[in-house]
């Protein structure tokens, strides 16, 4: 096994927390942001564990950024397929995560000093809870998605009693369900796509293994807060014996002096778009990003491109592996790049809309920045997040999704519709756009207050932190807790 570190332990003693994220960008970055916050308390030592491949990505992305002295990186062998090929055979990737990472992780624990006080592991790594239980180490299970999605998946058997899987979207139409704890009335078509396809149902067996272990963890950390999902958070608290801590989305807004995004994980080189954005008026640019993993078809990319061109709005588009788009000048209106610091871009005053796949990280980042959405969900939890954006919070419009307009997952959304919705959101004089922006600003301010001193998530985080420290001190003294 290769064990690498980017810094020394800095002479720090006391509570030692080991963090183990699921090996995917949308999971690693929230875990890293949580660990940076934990590390801001100088009496904790944080060991952040990733595969060798992901360690190289992090080191490359960090550039000159330096982590806190009490945050160190360690690596496991590359026992999972490469991130660059993860989407090519996703079932094989999941199986490797669930079956091949536990043994090298345990070997690493044996090598670490000082002794491990607590483990924070992604909820999709059930074996991490088992390891902690065997070693009498308390484990915090970190749920990286929306609390509502946790309730939907945790209660999948309840849904199956009413609608056997897979649920055919073409047949359920406008049928709603209102029996999932903490989840407002929702269309069957808006449930995670795992419920709707035979491949998704097959993958759900792995996820059920994860949910079996969550109650055996000492804590459940929710990547959400009461301000966004109070009913779901309350329902989860009533379901689980674990200490449930909603600790706000783990997104750190960039500081004005920040160049790179800092310590993040990505295998694509970041492009600084600041100068281009500076040349546009406030709220005039549409930011377009469909995520770091899932993809849409080439014909759909063409429709999006022509729709953006026809809308007349300037746009910044993050595109992976579509070289022909990078050569287009879009009449001087568009900038196409491979990667950027998303939170930095969303926080720029020129950004007036977010054309998004509605992944949870992107959703909470857009809300935090107060930017309205054009919802284009692709898979997994994104349909649920899109529903919350459009129907519950009313801070965006659907571009695609849930057969609302007869368009299924395999049908194209045409350029005319895309251009029409872009115009509706980006027209600052339109009454509906003004109202959407007002609601988004208010929700963003509430979300940000939750993480500030005295806010609901700040209090929840401090409660968790104090419990971790107490268990760590008791273990050092061999006292019961």
For residues 300 and 402, membership in a common domain is answered with yes
Full domain range(s) for residue 364: 274-426
Residue 367: its pLDDT value, please?
A: 96
For residues 295 and 370, membership in a common domain is answered with yes
Residue of 301, 294, 286, 446 lying closest to 359 (CA atoms): 294
Residue 9: its pLDDT value, please?
A: 43
Lowest mean pLDDT among 83-87, 206-210, 446-450: 83-87
Residue 268 inside a domain? The answer is: no
Residue 134 inside a domain? The answer is: yes
For residues 222 and 284, membership in a common domain is answered with no
Lowest mean pLDDT among 78-87, 110-119, 421-430: 78-87
Report pTM. 0.90
List, in order, residues 6 or more apart from 332 with CB less than 8 Å away. none
Residue 436 inside a domain? The answer is: no
For residues 334 and 243, membership in a common domain is answered with no
Backbone angles phi, psi at 167, to 5 degrees: -85, 115
The mean pLDDT value for 136-155 works out to: 96
pLDDT of 195 strictly over 60: yes
For residues 282 and 217, membership in a common domain is answered with no
For residues 102 and 163, membership in a common domain is answered with yes
The mean pLDDT value for 135-148 works out to: 96
Give the Cβ contact number of residue 323 at 10 Å.
Answer: 9
Residue 322: its pLDDT value, please?
A: 60
Higher pLDDT, 263 or 184: 184
Residue 340 inside a domain? The answer is: yes
Lowest mean pLDDT among 279-283, 338-342, 347-351, 381-385: 338-342
Helix H, strand E, coil C: the string for 199-223 is: HHHHHHHHHHHHHHHHHHCCEEEEC
Domain at 110, CATH number:
3.40.50.2000
Helix (H) or strand (E) holding 40: none
For residues 321 and 228, membership in a common domain is answered with no
Residue 201: its pLDDT value, please?
A: 73
Q: Do residues 121 and 140 make contact, with C-beta atoms less than 8 angstroms apart?
A: yes
Strands 396-398 and 373-375 turn out to be: parallel
- Report how far residue 328's alpha carbon sits from residue 91's, in angstroms, rounded to the nearest whole number: 35
For residues 322 and 225, membership in a common domain is answered with no
Write out the two tokens for 115: 């002794």
Residue 409: its pLDDT value, please?
A: 47
Listing DSSP states for 88-139 in one string gives GGHHHHHHHHHHHSHHHHHHHHHH-SS---EEEEETT-HHHHHHHHHHT--E
pLDDT tens per residue across span 301-356: 999 999 999 999 999 999 876 656 656 667 778 999 988 889 999 999 999 999 99
Residue 183 inside a domain? The answer is: yes
List, in order, residues 6 or more apart from 267 with CB less than 8 Å away. 57, 60, 83, 84
pLDDT of 73 strictly over 80: yes
For residues 35 and 165, membership in a common domain is answered with yes
Residue 5 inside a domain? The answer is: no
For residues 199 and 279, membership in a common domain is answered with no
- Report how far residue 399's alpha carbon sits from residue 321's, in angstroms, rounded to the nearest whole number: 23
Number of domains forming the structure of the chain:
2
For residues 354 and 215, membership in a common domain is answered with no
For residues 238 and 102, membership in a common domain is answered with yes
Residue 281 inside a domain? The answer is: yes
Residue 94 inside a domain? The answer is: yes
Residue 375: its pLDDT value, please?
A: 97
- Report how far residue 434's alpha carbon sits from residue 447's, in angstroms, rounded to the nearest whole number: 20
Whole-number average pLDDT of the chain: 86
pLDDT-based confidence at residue 410 (cuts at 50, 70, 90): low
């Amino acid at each position: 096994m290769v064990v690498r570190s980017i810094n020394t332990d800095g002479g720090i003693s006391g509570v030692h927390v080991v963090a183990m994220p699921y090996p995917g960008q949308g999971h690693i970055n929230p875990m890293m942001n949580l660990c940076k916050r934990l590390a801001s308390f100088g009496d904790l030592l944080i060991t952040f564990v990733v595969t060798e491949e992901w360690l190289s990505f992090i080191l490359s992305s960090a550039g000159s950024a330096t982590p806190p002295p009490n945050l160190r990186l360690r690596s496991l062998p590359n026992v999972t397929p490469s991130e660059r090929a993860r989407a090519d055979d996703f079932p094989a990737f999941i199986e490797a995560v669930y079956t091949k990472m536990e043994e090298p992780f345990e070997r690493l624990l044996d090598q670490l000093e000082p002794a491990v006080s607590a483990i924070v592991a992604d909820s999709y790594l059930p074996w991490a809870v088992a390891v902690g239980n065997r070693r009498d180490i308390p484990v915090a299970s970190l749920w990286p998605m929306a609390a509502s999605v946790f309730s939907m998946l945790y209660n999948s058997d309840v849904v199956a009693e009413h609608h056997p899987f897979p649920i055919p979207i073409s047949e359920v139409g406008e049928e709603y369900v209102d029996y999932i704890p903490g989840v407002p009335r929702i269309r069957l078509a808006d449930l995670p796509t795992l419920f709707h396809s035979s491949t998704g149902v097959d993958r759900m067996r792995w996820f059920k293994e994860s949910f079996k272990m969550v109650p055996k963890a000492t804590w459940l950390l929710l990547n959400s807060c009461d301000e966004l999902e109070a009913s779901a958070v309350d329902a989860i608290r009533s379901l689980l014996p674990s200490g449930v801590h909603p600790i706000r989305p783990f997104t750190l807004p960039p500081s004005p002096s920040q160049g790179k995004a800092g310590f993040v994980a990505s295998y694509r080189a970041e492009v600084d778009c600041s100068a281009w954005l500076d040349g546009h008026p406030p709220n005039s640019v549409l930011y377009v990003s469909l995520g770091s993993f899932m993809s849409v078809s080439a014909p759909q990319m063409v429709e999006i491109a022509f729709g953006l061109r026809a809308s007349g709005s300037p746009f910044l588009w993050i595109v992976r592996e579509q070289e022909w788009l990078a050569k287009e000048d879009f009449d001087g209106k568009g900038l196409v790049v491979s990667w950027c610091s998303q939170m930095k871009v969303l926080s720029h005053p020129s950004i007036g809309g977010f054309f998004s796949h509605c992944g949870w990280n992107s959703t909470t980042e857009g809300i935090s920045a107060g930017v309205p959405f054009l919802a284009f969900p692709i898979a997994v939890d994104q349909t649920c997040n899109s529903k919350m954006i459009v129907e519950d919070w009313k801070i965006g419009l659907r571009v695609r999704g849930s057969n609302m307009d007869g368009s299924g997952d395999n049908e194209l959304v045409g350029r005319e519709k895309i251009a029409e919705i872009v115009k509706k959101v980006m027209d600052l004089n339109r009454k509906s756009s003004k109202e959407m922006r007002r609601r988004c600003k208010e929700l963003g301010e509430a979300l940000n207050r939750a993480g500030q001193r005295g806010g609901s998530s700040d209090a929840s985080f401090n409660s968790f932190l104090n419990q971790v420290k107490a268990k760590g001190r008791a273990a050092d003294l061999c006292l019961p807790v």
